[in-house]
Structure 1
Amino acid sequence: MVRGRGVRGKWCGALLLAAVLAGGASACGPETPPAPGGPASGGPTSEVSTSPTAEPTRTADASATTTATATTTAPPGEPQPGEVLVEVVVNGGLAGVRNQLVVHYDGSWTSRSGTKPPRTGQQTPAEVAELRAALEDPAYAHVPNRPTGSPIADGFQYFITYRHRLVVSGDGERPPALQRVFAALPEGGPPTSP
């Protein structure tokens, strides 16, 4: 049993004992913060769902609460299967095209051009890694969100969406970080032909 001085010591001792039995930490002293994505040190390794549909349930020990959920989720920050990595749309040109390329985290991609049937493909793991590296490059974060120069008559505009950030670029406005992204896209990006 934990010894303490006076009422506070007994209270902290009782809290500590209850926390140890429940696998948690007490409010009586410093605690070790949990590692990113992991449980607090010294506690059991159990996963708690933050799903809004999860219902807490009481176990036989009234001090412990567990959360049950019907669905499993990927660790925070991990993409879900089929989640879009990047979307690139090209607009403009003499013919007024609007073509689209969507690349998923698993490397699968779909390219749509006018009324033609969509084309699909699969990047290799190395190609996906290169595309992700180009998109996560700090230099890419500094690419302007909107074109900075004068538009080119009958030129193309490119709309690149990655992690809820939209970058719009015109013909001739590809800083090196943006050019690296286009070089890593399947087929160099969406087609510019109708």
Structure 2
Amino acid sequence: MVRRRTRWTASAVAVLVPLLAVAGCGDRDGAPAPVATHGESSTRPPTAPTGIVPAPPVPTGTDGTVKNDHEPGPREVLVEVVVNGGLAGVRNQLIVHYDGGYTSRSGTESPRGGRMTGAEVAELRAALEDPAYAKVPARPSGPPVADGFQYVFTHRYRVVVAGDGARPPALQRVFEALPDGGPPTSP
């Protein structure tokens, strides 16, 4: 009987010691960490790590599209496209600003820049602001292409991930409006 109690006690200690260690942890400022029980939430809001400013809430309409009355400045980012993957495992980037200036990075090479014409910028903005683009799924729905590329588009607050292969027409329109045919896919 004593042996059985000893086993149970050893098991309980093995489970409780890590729990007690976690419960005794506190914030950086020395305040005890809030403990939430089942069905309750902590009374203290979570804090962001030092130096990180939380993003403002995303204004959306009833149809799920992003609503933003802010008129962007010429040097603000219109769209950022990052391409990952492929046989060589690339990670390249294209950033286009509202004024038409753009920067393209390929791997560890120095960035190269350029400028789109006013008509080209207007075409890209129209493609990004098209209601059909707002309905493009945030993630691809088809099977991934082996050793294919993954494209991550960020326009305002919306992120769309696309792969190689068939694309919705609204997304293809954005691809075609990007300078230099989009971000480079070579390493």
Is the shorter-chain TM-score for this pair beyond 0.5, marking a shared fold?
yes
Q: Distance between the aligned counterparts of 2:121 and 2:74, measured in 1?
A: 14
| Equivalences for residues 19-168 of structure 1 within 5 A | 77-168=70-161
Q: Which runs of 4+ in 1 moved over 6 A?
A: none
RMSD across aligned positions (CA): 0.9
Q: Secondary structure at the match of 2:92?
A: strand
Q: How far apart are residue 152 of structure 1 and its match?
A: 1.1
1:67-96 CA distance string (max 9 Å, x none)? xxxxxxxxx521123100000000000000
Task: Give TM-score scaled by structure 1 length.
Answer: 0.60
Answer whether contact 1:88 1:160 (CA < 8 A) is retained: yes
Aligned counterpart, 2:171 = 178
- Structure 2, unmatched stretches of 5+, are 1-68
Alpha-carbon contact 1:147-1:170 (below 8 Å) kept: yes
Contact 1:109/1:122 (CA < 8 Å) preserved in 2?
yes
Matched position secondary structure for 1:174 = coil
Aligned residues: 119
Deviation digits for residues 50-72 of structure 1, max 9, x if unmatched? xxxxxxxxxxxxxxxxxxxxxxx
Q: Scaled by the length of structure 2, what TM-score is found?
A: 0.62
Secondary structure at 2:82's aligned position in 1? strand
- The letter for the 2-side match of 1:174 is R
Give the distance between the partners of 2:157 and 2:177, measured in 1 at CA: 19
SS for the counterpart of 2:186 is coil
- Between 1 and 2, higher relative CO (CA 8 Å, sep ≥ 6) is seen in 2
Which protein is bigger by CA-based radius of gyration? 1
